[in-house]
Amino acid sequence: MSDAASVLDSMVDRADQLYSLPGVAVRVLDLTSQENVDAHQLKQCIENDPALTAKLLRVVNSSLFGLATPVSDLTQALALLGIKPLKLLVLGFSLPPKLMSEDGEVFRRYWQHTLTRAVAAREICLATRCAAGDELFIAALLRDVGILVLAQQAGPAYLAVWRKTADRPALREAERAALGFDHSQLTQRLMEHWKLPATLVESVSLPTDAEAVAKLPKPSRTAAKVLRLAELVAGFLAGAGPPALGEAYAQAMDFFGIDDRQLRDLVAQLQPKVVQLADVLSLKLPPGLDYQALIAQAHQRLSQVASEVVEDSLRKRGVAAATAPCATAGDELRLLAEAAKCLKTARSAPAGARSEKAKKPVAAAAGREKARALKSAPAADGKEPAAAARPSATAVAGDEPLLLEAVSSAVARCRARRMAASLLLVELDGYGELVFQAGLPKAEELLRQFESALFEAAQIEADPEPIESLRTRDSRFAVVVPFCERGTIVRLANKLLVKLRRVLDTQAGAARGRLRVCLGAATVPAPSATFPPQDLMRGAARCLGAALSAHGDGLKSIEIY
C-alpha cells in the first residue's frame, strides 16, 4: 500500500470514530433500504429527533421548495415530498455535529460556497427538468465534507493552504501535492464508511472538470453537468469574479441551452433561499453579501469588455455601430464568454507573481544591453567595434511599461553614439473579429504563427544590429531598432509586410479576408539629451492608427525632431 493510501485510510478511520452519523440517520438508512418502506415507521423514527424534525419542516416550508400549502407535520411532508426526497433531506441535515460546530471566517466562507452550490444545483434541475433536484441538492451539499475533516484534523497548516486557493480545483491540486490524495477522495471514502446510498456516493464523487464530464455515460454526465454549473455559480458568488460568471454563461448554454439572461435571473434569486437554508442548519454566513449586486456588476464588466471588442472590430472595418446588424442572443453569449477568458487570463496569476514574471525578461534585457553598450562603444583608437552578436528575440507578454523600458534603453544608447533610433509597431487587424467568428483556440494558434514569423523575420532583417521584439497587446507587437534611420526602418517594415502577408495567405484560410497587417514606424535622428522616449512611442502609435484607418494592409512612418 502506498504512503498516500495509508494516510487516507488512517484519516478515514479516525474521522469515522470522531464523526459518526446520528442514530436517527442510521435508522433511516436501514428503513429505506428495505424493499417495502414503512412510511409510518419512518415518520416515527424521524420524530424521535425533534431538532431534525424542526429542520425538515422549516426547509420544506421555505422558498427552496415553494410548496403551494404549508406543511405542518411529517405525515404531510411524506405525502407531498415522497420517501426518497425526505430520506435525502434527513441524510443531508444529519451531518455529524462536530463537523458543523466550527465557526470563523474560513468556515463561513465554506458554508456560503456549499449552500449556494446546493441551492443552485436544485434550481438548475427545476429549470431544465434534466435530473432529480433533491438528490443533486444533497450531493452538492455533501461533496466537500472532506474539507471540514481536513481542516479539523490538519489544523492551521491546512487552513493556510485553503485560504490561499482561489477555487476547488486549485485546492484539490494543492492537497494532492501535499498528501497524495484530495478532499474529494476523502469525502467519498467517508460516505462509503457511513454506508450512504450508492447513488448518492456516486453523485458526490462525480468529476466537474469539462473533459472528464464529457467522457461520462449519459445519466452520470447530466448530473455532473448540473454539479459543474452549480460549482461555477457558487465560485463566482464566493469571489471568483467575472471570469467565473462568463464561464458559467458558456457552460449553461452548452449543457442546457440556458442563455445568459436566464442564468442571471436564476442566480439573482438564490440568496433568499441560501439564507433560509443557513438559518435552518444554524450556520453563519459572511456578512454583507448581495448576490444581485454581484451579478449585476460582473455582467456589466463582461458586457463592457465584449462591447469594446465589437466596437473596435467595427471601427477598424469602417462600419458605424448604429448601422451594424444586431447581435443575436447566441452572439452575445459568445462575446461574453470570450470577454471572460480575457479577464481570466489577466487575473490568472497573483499581482506579485505577474510582476516577478515581468521582471525576469527586463533583467535579462538589461544584461544584454550592458554587453551591447560595451561592444558598441567606440574603441580607444576611434575605430568602430565589430557588430554585436544578434540575441534571440524575446516575446514578452507585457504592456506599455515594458515597451517604455526597451525604448528608453535604445534611445539612451543612440544618444551616446549620436545615431537614430526607430520603433516599429505591428498589428494583426481583425483579430478580435477572428476570435468572435472562429473561436479563441483557432485565433490564438494563428496569432502564435504570426508572432513567430514576425520576431524571426525582424531579427534577420535587422542583422547585424541587435533589436528588442515585444508583444504589447493581444495582437500588437513592437520592434525596437537602435542605430536605424527612417529609410532603413521603412525598408525593414516593407520586407516584414511581405513575409507576414505570406504567413496569413498560407495559414489563415477562409479568415484571410478579414485580417490585415498594419505597421506604424517612428524614427528620431540623434536624440537630444532632453528627448522623451515616450514621444517615439506616441509617434509610432499615431502612424499605426493611420495605417489601421486605411483600407487593406499598410505602413505609415514618421520622423520626429
Give the pLDDT confidence score for residue 3 in this predicted structure.
63
Burial class (CB in 10 A: 0-12, 13-18, 19+), 139: buried
Task: Per residue of the chain (561 residues), give pLDDT as tens.
Answer: 456 677 787 777 777 666 777 888 888 888 877 777 788 888 888 888 888 888 888 888 888 877 777 888 888 888 777 888 888 888 888 877 777 766 677 788 888 899 999 999 999 998 898 888 888 999 999 998 888 888 877 777 777 777 776 567 778 888 888 778 888 888 998 888 888 888 888 988 898 787 888 889 887 999 999 999 999 998 888 766 666 777 888 888 888 888 878 888 888 888 888 988 888 888 888 876 777 777 777 666 666 665 555 555 545 555 444 444 444 444 444 554 555 555 455 444 433 333 333 333 333 333 333 333 333 333 333 433 333 332 222 333 334 677 888 898 889 988 988 899 999 999 988 877 676 567 667 777 888 888 888 887 776 655 455 677 788 777 889 999 898 899 889 988 888 888 888 888 888 877 788 788 999 999 999 899 889 999 999 899 889 988 888 878 889 999 987
Query: Considering only CA atoms, which of 53, 57, 64, 50 is closest in space to residue 275?
Result: 64
CA distance 260 to 253: 8
* Segment holding 480, helix H or strand E: strand 476-482
Say which residue the cell 420544506 belongs to: 60
What would the 3-class secondary structure string for 35-59 be? CCCCHHHHHHHHHCCHHHHHHHHHH
Give the pLDDT confidence score for residue 420 in this predicted structure.
92
Give the pLDDT confidence score for residue 304 in this predicted structure.
62
CA distance 413 to 403: 16
User: Do the Cβ atoms of 168 and 124 come closer than 8 Å?
Assistant: no
Would the pTM of this model clear 0.75, i.e. be above it? no
Query: Considering only CA atoms, which of 483, 351, 488 is closest in space to residue 420?
Result: 483
Query: Considering only CA atoms, which of 531, 529, 496, 502 is closest in space to residue 515?
Result: 502
Q: 25 is written with which cell numbers?
A: 440517520
Put residue 439 in one of left, alpha, beta given phi > 0 → left and psi -120 to 50 → alpha.
left
Query: Considering only CA atoms, which of 353, 356, 312, 306 is closest in space to residue 334?
Result: 306
User: Do the Cβ atoms of 121 and 255 come closer than 8 Å?
Assistant: no
If you compute the radius of gyration of the chain from its CA atoms, what whole number of angstroms results?
31
Give the pLDDT confidence score for residue 450 in this predicted structure.
86
CA distance 493 to 491: 5
The residues, any chain, with a CB within 8 Å of residue 486's CB and separated by 6 or more, are 420, 422, 521, 523, 525, 557, 559
Q: 69 is written with which cell numbers?
A: 400549502
Burial class (CB in 10 A: 0-12, 13-18, 19+), 79: exposed
The residue type found at 251 is: Q
Cα four-point dihedral sign 90, 93, 97, 99: positive
Phi, psi of 89 (to 5 degrees): -65, -40
* Whether the bond into 464 is cis, omega within 30 of 0: yes
User: What per-residue string of b and e applies to 505-517 under the rule 16 or more CB within 10 Å gives b?
Assistant: eeebeebeebbbb
Cα four-point dihedral sign 84, 86, 91, 92: positive
What does the longest C-alpha to C-alpha distance in the chain come to?
108
**Domains of the chain and CATH, by start:** 21-95 (no CATH), 354-375+389-559 (3.30.70.270)
CA distance 341 to 319: 26
Give the pLDDT confidence score for residue 285 in this predicted structure.
84
CA distance 510 to 505: 9
Chain Cα centroid distance, residue 135 = 28
CA distance 189 to 9: 9
User: Do the Cβ atoms of 28 and 45 come closer than 8 Å?
Assistant: yes
The residue type found at 370 is: K
The residues, any chain, with a CB within 8 Å of residue 266's CB and separated by 6 or more, are 120, 123, 124, 127, 258
The DSSP bridge pattern shows strands 554-559 and 516-524 to be parallel
Helices first, then strands: H and E counts in the chain = 27, 5
Question: What SS3 state is found at 181?
Answer: coil
Question: What SS3 state is found at 429?
Answer: strand
Give the pLDDT confidence score for residue 241 in this predicted structure.
63
